[in-house]
């Protein structure tokens, strides 16, 4: 289940039918989750007089782009039609020829696109088409709207550290577990299936020391979407205590795993793990592993996006360090009550000396979605 795309401000000057096809293009594009990154998810619809002639998505990294795929096979029928795309058609020759040329060659009379292409090389497709007499409408909405749909792609166009999403499952009273180290499942099967689907869209799944010690998680994507490249499990391990038998280091056959340790523990750990995982050495700060350095080290290892799945201490540290770009907040209709572990302990002052992150700054660009009796709230960092 997904929420209908919000194609945003500005699009209200389009006819209702145009908005519908544009939203359809965005929705189609979403089906590329887990298969196209770090490319954007893109969908395209070719229509004439309210009738859809063809539609497609960018299905696979390196494969045909959405526009070219939607036009394929239409031949003369595309002449005079309108093409709707969720992203400005590319103007560059990458792994495939420019979409702009395919659109122009097909005789498309009008192109309506939603997000502006941020890449210097691929960008400018709208202008290119206009110059050749194609009527072009777009972009609509703003960069934050587009980034909400294609977070990793738009982050990559701007940033140097990996895109970081933090998943938290919380009770109605904002707690992630009962006290005393006890563990419970807060969310139901549908929400857990969604987490597996989400995992497929990230380069890495990150957990803190307490989590791998207590849960020995697999950290693989075992959901409806089979990731094109399985996400790499990343374990934080300041003292270098990980062992070669951990499930996350033995999950996907031939898969990678990364253990991040303090510089003084990394050498010994590397020897003990004997090739089972890559060991990244990072400095230690007063609060533990230097998380910004750890994330920087992941970029050097080709990790462009990270889904952090716990635990609470790591989540709080990431939030406090302003290192989180997106929150996936699953809210379960249960109350844990007194003594429970708060989802945002720094706010409750339970980590001595922790800085409280500035209030606000989180934006709900996507609508909440229900999974069984749980609700997923997606919040993107503003500014």
C-beta of 37 vs 167, nearer to ligand AOF: 37
Provide DSSP, 236-302: E-TT----TT-GGGSSSTT---EEEEEHHHHHHHHHHHTTSSEEEEE-EETTEE-HHHHHHHHHHTT
What is the size of the binding site for Zn ion (CB under 5 A)?
Answer: 3
Other C-beta atoms lying within 10 Å of the C-beta of residue 243:
10
Neighbouring residues of 212: CB distance < 8 A, sequence distance ≥ 6: 235, 237, 242, 246, 248
**Least gap, CB of 341 to Zn ion (angstroms):** 47
Contact with ligand AOF (CB under 6 A) among 117, 145, 203, 252: 117
Please tell me whether residue 95 binds ligand AOF under the rule CB under 6 A.
yes
87 binds, among Zn ion, ligand AOF, none (CB under 5 to 8 A by kind): ligand AOF
Q: In whole angstroms, what is the distance from residue 261 CA to residue 242 CA?
A: 9
Beta carbons of 129 and 136 less than 8 angstroms apart: yes
- Residue 327 β-bridge partners: 166, 379
Please tell me whether residue 56 binds ligand AOF under the rule CB under 6 A.
no
- Considering 55, 67, 194, 270, which one is annotated as catalytic? 67
117 binds, among Zn ion, ligand AOF, none (CB under 5 to 8 A by kind): ligand AOF
**Least gap, CB of 139 to Zn ion (angstroms):** 15
Q: In whole angstroms, what is the distance from residue 356 CA to residue 121 CA?
A: 41
H or E stretch including 364? none
Q: Is 300 a catalytic residue?
A: no
C-beta of 63 vs 188, nearer to ligand AOF: 63
Return the structure tokens found at 181.
């180290």
Per-residue contact track with Zn ion, 33 to 72, x per CB under 5 A?
Answer: --------------------------------x-------
β-strand pairing of 305-308 with 288-289? unpaired
Contact with ligand AOF (CB under 6 A) among 87, 273, 329, 376: 87
Residue numbers at the binding site for ligand AOF (CB under 6 A): 39-40, 42, 58, 62, 65-67, 87, 89-90, 94-96, 99, 117, 119, 122
Residue numbers at the binding site for Zn ion (CB under 5 A): 65, 90, 99
């Amino acid at each position: 289940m997904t929420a209908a795309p919000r194609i945003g401000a500005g699009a209200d000057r389009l006819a209702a039918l145009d908005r519908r096809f544009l939203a359809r293009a965005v929705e189609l594009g979403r089906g590329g989750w887990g298969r196209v990154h770090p490319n954007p998810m893109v969908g395209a619809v070719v229509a004439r007089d309210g009738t859809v002639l063809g539609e497609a998505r960018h299905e696979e990294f390196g494969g045909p782009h959405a526009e070219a795929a939607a036009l394929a096979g239409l031949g003369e029928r595309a002449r005079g039609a309108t093409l709707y795309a969720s992203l400005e058609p590319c103007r560059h020759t990458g792994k495939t020829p420019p979409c702009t040329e395919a659109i122009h060659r097909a005789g498309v009379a009008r192109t309506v696109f939603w997000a502006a292409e941020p890449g210097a090389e691929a960008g400018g497709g709208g202008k290119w088409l206009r110059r050749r007499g194609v009527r072009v409408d777009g972009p609509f909405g703003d960069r934050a709207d587009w980034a909400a749909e294609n977070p990793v792609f738009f982050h990559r166009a701007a940033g140097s550290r990996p895109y970081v999403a933090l998943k938290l499952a919380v009770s109605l009273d904002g707690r992630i577990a009962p006290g005393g180290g006890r563990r419970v499942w807060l969310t139901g099967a549908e929400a857990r299936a969604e987490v597996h689907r989400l995992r497929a869209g990230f380069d890495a799944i990150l957990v803190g020391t307490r989590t791998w010690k207590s849960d020995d998680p697999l950290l693989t994507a075992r959901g409806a979407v089979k990731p094109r490249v399985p996400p790499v499990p990343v374990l934080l391990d300041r003292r270098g205590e990980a062992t070669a038998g951990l499930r996350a280091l033995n999950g996907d056959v031939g898969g990678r795993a990364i253990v991040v340790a303090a510089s003084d523990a990394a050498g010994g750990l590397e020897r003990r793990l004997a090739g089972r995982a890559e060991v990244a050495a990072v400095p230690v700060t007063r609060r533990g592993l230097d998380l910004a350095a750890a994330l920087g080290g992941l970029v050097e290892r080709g990790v462009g996006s990270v889904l952090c799945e716990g635990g609470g201490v790591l989540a709080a540290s990431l939030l406090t360090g302003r290192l989180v770009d997106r929150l996936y907040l699953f809210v379960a209709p249960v109350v844990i009550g007194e003594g429970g572990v708060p989802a945002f302990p720094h706010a409750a002052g339970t980590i001595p000396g922790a800085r409280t992150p500035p209030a606000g700054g989180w934006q709900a660009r996507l609508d909440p979605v229900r999974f069984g009796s749980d609700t997923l709230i997606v919040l993107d960092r503003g500014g």
